[in-house]
Structure 1
């Protein structure tokens, strides 16, 4: 959690709240987030590949219409269990701007594994114009950029409901019980059976929210498992080294009274 805290301390300054206009922890009372059991938590935690692949499907079919994923290349998807041929097929479904060509013109071509996910809008002004003035943030680091991390993302995605009678929503806002201030610019993105999972899993709102959050947690730290494995190896090495030092000390000073 130390790396997450460090990232959150810096990225929160620059990244807007998921679909909203204010960062988590800004105006509004503190919100108790629903705690979830995540496969990747803890020193031995790993990414649930099946959940992350379903989450990629949710991102592509729902989130990608507004939110970019600037720091993830298609080839990174091999980490989630996709074969090289599957990655090539996924990349080829996108058009990527390239160029200039011999005549100095930019052009579009099918994506390749080396390309990053294309952004849904050409620039920030275009994004705001299509979203009522709100700027949908890039989702590459969103999990680490929010207080509450993955529980916050899951909470916001599942927190939409009718506003209480004593709450007046501002124009263009939706009520969300887990969003600070409870008014969020992002309309509810997930609905029952909003996607048809390739593996046959029932696409409830909660399931889709957990799956896409798992995918985004991986996107925020693609090297998380390697980092944990390195940490475990270092700890085991230090334990063995400490044992050797202690044994050497006992042998060297055995005859000294």
Structure 2
């Protein structure tokens, strides 16, 4: 009897689940979800071309160096880059002495060898880029309760990659009248800024690039807002995937070898089985 009751209970539970699933499915088909401000007014990333795009792309080291300058002088005030070491900057065309000098411009956590107390010291090539905040609580307190994300892998973590970063940096604007009329609740609240390229339309990060000449480029390139946005977007593409170009370049010889091996195997098969006649079918 107990076993029969258990079976009936299980069947009843299964029936309820199936009915619930069917009702939800029918409702979703016949009554589409109401359109939200995020769905209607969110914009896809702008179409931007970078030297490293495509199967024949290459890193523009001058652009990457300019992007590093933008990160150091603008983005590093709020965002960490904990998966990138100073020694990695050698891939951008910097010499070993230049990497050492660049690392020394940063202050990283250390320990006083005399007292054992925590101190800040000049960075070394083996150190990783430090966080501007001692912990997540301090980061949230300084940014309207929004913790700035680490930028090491940002170009891989967001749909659109470098194009998304560029669009976000250049996309700050006032909400449109159409948006405010249809979705007044979508107006940015206190401490928020409207950006249609951000999934939620409003974000806590203030526009980081605000004026031409905000940074100084040693190569003489004019530091306009679009130029700075493009340079730092390329730089963050490199930090997220530094071996991208090398992997693509390696792929072509590999594909060539596979093609050659396939042709050789086919010709070998033809040579080996050339003298073998197929058996006749018996009807």
Judge same fold: TM > 0.5, yes or no: yes
Matched, 1:180 2:199: yes
**Over aligned residues, Cα RMSD in angstroms?**
1.7
Partner Cα distance (2:107, 2:150) in 1: 19
1:231 Cα deviation from its structure 2 partner:
2.1
Q: Which has the larger radius of gyration?
A: 2
Q: Are 1:27 and 1:180, in contact at CA under 8 Å, matched by a contact in 2?
A: no
Partner Cα distance (1:98, 1:230) in 2: 40
Matched, 1:28 2:47: no
Residue correspondence of structure 1 range 83-232 to structure 2 within 5 A: 83-99=95-111, 101-165=113-177, 166=180, 168-191=187-210, 192-232=212-252
1:162 Cα deviation from its structure 2 partner:
2.2
TM-score normalized by the length of structure 2: 0.77
Partner Cα distance (2:162, 2:173) in 1: 20
Partner Cα distance (1:161, 1:27) in 2: 16
1:118 Cα deviation from its structure 2 partner:
1.2
1:104 Cα deviation from its structure 2 partner:
2.7
TM-score normalized by the length of structure 1: 0.85
Partner Cα distance (2:117, 2:193) in 1: 42
Q: Are 1:101 and 1:107, in contact at CA under 8 Å, matched by a contact in 2?
A: no
Matched, 1:256 2:276: yes
- Structure 2 regions of 5+ residues with no counterpart? 1-35, 278-283
| SS at structure 1 position matched to 2:251 | helix
Q: Are 1:143 and 1:217, in contact at CA under 8 Å, matched by a contact in 2?
A: yes
1:84 Cα deviation from its structure 2 partner:
0.7
1:27 Cα deviation from its structure 2 partner:
7.8
In proportion to residue count, which structure has more helix?
2
- Structure 1 regions of 5+ residues with no counterpart? 1-25
